[in-house]
A and B are shown apart, each in its own frame.
Chain A
Amino acid sequence: MIYKGKEIDPKSPREAIDLGIALVPEDRKRHGAMLGVSIKNNINMPIYERNSRFSVIDEKKEQEIAEKYRNNMAIKTPNLNQLIKNLSGGNQQKVILGRWMAANSELIIFDEPTRGIDIGAKYEIYKLMNDLVEKEGKSILMISSEMEELMGMSDRILVLAEGNMTGELRKEEFSQETIMTYASAASNE
């Protein structure tokens, strides 16, 4: 894998996170949000070691960071000590995004980011993704099987079929037919 012009080979999520790569996984409840843990802890989890002295957490900083990203991400909760499982799906997703903002991630991989999220929250997530790119200068790699989402959000689409890349489309080439043609390419051969 080439990242920022350098060959990299992260062996664990930790190594990837330290390189600035983060994952917003598809199965939010199983892989994304730590449901039994507070919103504050969910946001701070990847950076605790950085914000500790002799393993003791800097609790003031922990609180500040959580508040900062609650505001930035417009997470609807009065209490950051609340468990994340009490939030709606969209707000949970925003907590996870806040986590990666707090960790200074630069490339964020979104795996089916809007699956199981209601329409209103969906648009909020899209808007956040656009803001991440335009205002924060982040890069996004989105994995999706929803055609409108792909064509609406992407600058470039890579089509995969049965594990192989079968096509690369620039914005002006986007169309459902072309994507479908590439997507079914492997099985035609």
Chain B
Amino acid sequence: MKENKITNLIKSQAIWVVFIVLCIGFTIANPRFITGTNLLIMLRQVAVWGIASVGMTFVILLGDIDLATGSIITFVNVLCSYLMVNMGVPMGLAIIITLAASTLIGLLNGFMVSTIGIPALIATFATQTAFSGIALIICDGQPINGFTESFKVFGQGKIGPVPVPVIIMILCFALGAFILNKTYFGRYFYAVGGNIEAARLSGIRTGRVKYLVFALSGFFAGLAGLVLLSRVNSGMGNAGLGYEFKVITCVVLGGVSVSGGSGRMSGVVAGTFIISALNNGMVLINLNSWVQNIVLGIVLVLAVGFDCYQKKRRAN
């Protein structure tokens, strides 16, 4: 019995073991990996993925997918820059408008998936393409610079030794865990993701739940986009390119099942840290960026493959 508990503990924490092994490996390959400056860079990077992965977790828990995340991050970058620089909108108002816009894009995804019935893969793929186009039109393909000094705080500021984006990320993860474990929305996400028809017959308004998760995914992507914009300090028409891939990988690596219905926020935290360590470490050991993509592709396949193969074996 006791031994069983220990194996269970190791099993549930296995993902952190992977993270530590990875860090040790990179440190041996390049001791600069473990230095304070590098860890700080890594933490800032992890924040953007971490924030966006909270919303993605909800979507994947429902058995859906949101490919629009990267595009929403780009759109947010350009929209917020344009509002502040070209239109002179005050920072606070620009942020509110931007977050509202990203949530609306999420609602649009929700409408297409829930009300019309388009598979999430296609609906969000369409949104991704359309909004990256809109972003490029807004900025006319040019970077937008010249924000007020105070805008820098979200991406570059620090409270004590802790970077502000990391604090925002921790708050987002905490909020995500709270929603999943303490509110009825969390119960609904697991129920709908596990079996949508049984959930509907138990009185859950499943259509609304779908709207909600896509709206949340849009909101968190928007927040991630603002943090990124503040860090880079320049709005660009390709800022979020490929981010959805990283965010999805963080979430499924963290043990959220792509078929929906199971996964925990703590796992996603671990998944996010692994992806950022991998990303950062591969740069430090001078791995060619094309090869980096191959590695990330393999990681995604392994993460999903592990889950799917276990399910298949259990089904037989």
For A49, give its contact among B184, B198, B200 (CB under 8 Å).
Answer: B184
B38 within 8 A of A: no
B11 within 8 A of A: no
Q: Are A34 and B194 in contact (CB under 8 A)?
A: yes
Q: Given the complex of chains A and B, what is the CA–CA distance between A35 and B193 in angstroms?
A: 11
Q: Are A36 and B205 in contact (CB under 8 A)?
A: no
A12 within 8 A of B: yes
Q: Are A37 and B203 in contact (CB under 8 A)?
A: no
The B-contacting residues of A in range 33-71, CB under 8 angstroms, are 33-37, 41-42, 44-46, 48-49, 52, 55-57, 59
Of the listed stretches A23-31, A132-140, A155-163, A176-184, chain B binds A23-31
Chain A residue contacts of B188, Cβ below 8 A: 48
Q: Are A23 and B183 in contact (CB under 8 A)?
A: no
Q: Chain A residue with minimal CB distance to B182?
A: A56
Q: Chain A residue with minimal CB distance to B200?
A: A13
Q: If A34-B199, A56-B182 touch, does A45 touch B194 (CB 8 Å cutoff)?
A: no
A99 within 8 A of B: yes
B204 within 8 A of A: yes
Q: Given the complex of chains A and B, what is the CA–CA distance between A37 and B61 in angstroms?
A: 13
B190 within 8 A of A: yes
Q: Are B184 and A57 in contact (CB under 8 A)?
A: yes
Q: Given the complex of chains A and B, what is the CA–CA distance between A96 and B193 in angstroms?
A: 19
Q: Given the complex of chains A and B, what is the CA–CA distance between A59 and B198 in angstroms?
A: 23
Q: Given the complex of chains A and B, what is the CA–CA distance between A37 and B261 in angstroms?
A: 8
Chain B residue contacts of A48, Cβ below 8 A: 184, 187-188
Q: Are A32 and B201 in contact (CB under 8 A)?
A: yes
Q: If A13-B200, A30-B197, A57-B182 touch, does A37 touch B191 (CB 8 Å cutoff)?
A: yes
A171 within 8 A of B: no
Q: Are A30 and B187 in contact (CB under 8 A)?
A: no
A14 within 8 A of B: yes
Q: Given the complex of chains A and B, what is the CA–CA distance between A42 and B193 in angstroms?
A: 14
Q: Chain B residue with minimal CB distance to A100?
A: B202
Q: If A30-B197, A34-B195, A41-B191 touch, does A99 touch B183 (CB 8 Å cutoff)?
A: no
| Nearest-Cβ distance from residue A48 to partner chain B, whole angstroms | 4
Q: Chain B residue with minimal CB distance to A48?
A: B184
Q: Are B185 and A55 in contact (CB under 8 A)?
A: yes
A17 within 8 A of B: yes
B262 within 8 A of A: yes
A103 within 8 A of B: yes
Q: If A41-B187, A52-B184, A57-B187 touch, does A46 touch B202 (CB 8 Å cutoff)?
A: yes
Q: If A14-B203, A45-B203, A45-B204 touch, does A33 touch B184 (CB 8 Å cutoff)?
A: no
The A-contacting residues of B in range 137-196, CB under 8 angstroms, are 182-185, 187-188, 190-191, 193-195
Interface-centre pick from B188, B190, B202, B205 (highest chain A CB count, 10 A): B202
Q: Given the complex of chains A and B, what is the CA–CA distance between A45 and B186 in angstroms?
A: 11
Q: Are B183 and A56 in contact (CB under 8 A)?
A: yes
Per-residue CB proximity of B266-296 to A under 8 Å, as 1/0? 0000000000000000000000000000000
Chain A residue contacts of B183, Cβ below 8 A: 52, 55-57
Q: Chain B residue with minimal CB distance to A49?
A: B184
The B-contacting residues of A in range 55-114, CB under 8 angstroms, are 55-57, 59, 99, 103
Q: Given the complex of chains A and B, what is the CA–CA distance between A107 and B199 in angstroms?
A: 20
Q: Are B203 and A13 in contact (CB under 8 A)?
A: yes
Interface-centre pick from A48, A56, A103 (highest chain B CB count, 10 A): A48
Q: Chain B residue with minimal CB distance to A41?
A: B187
Chain A residue contacts of B185, Cβ below 8 A: 55
Q: Given the complex of chains A and B, what is the CA–CA distance between A56 and B186 in angstroms?
A: 10
Q: Given the complex of chains A and B, what is the CA–CA distance between A41 and B184 in angstroms?
A: 10
Q: Are A35 and B195 in contact (CB under 8 A)?
A: yes
| Nearest-Cβ distance from residue A99 to partner chain B, whole angstroms | 7
Q: Given the complex of chains A and B, what is the CA–CA distance between A97 and B183 in angstroms?
A: 24
Interface-centre pick from A37, A55, A99 (highest chain B CB count, 10 A): A37
Other A-B pairs, 12, CB within 8 Å; known A18-B203, A36-B193, A103-B203: A13-B201, A14-B204, A30-B198, A35-B195, A36-B261, A36-B262, A37-B194, A41-B191, A48-B184, A48-B188, A57-B184, A57-B187
Chosen A-B contacts, 9 in total, with CB atoms closer than 8 Å, are A31-B198, A35-B194, A35-B198, A36-B262, A37-B187, A45-B199, A45-B203, A46-B202, A55-B183
| A-B pairs, 4 with minimum CB distance | A36-B194, A48-B184, A46-B203, A55-B183
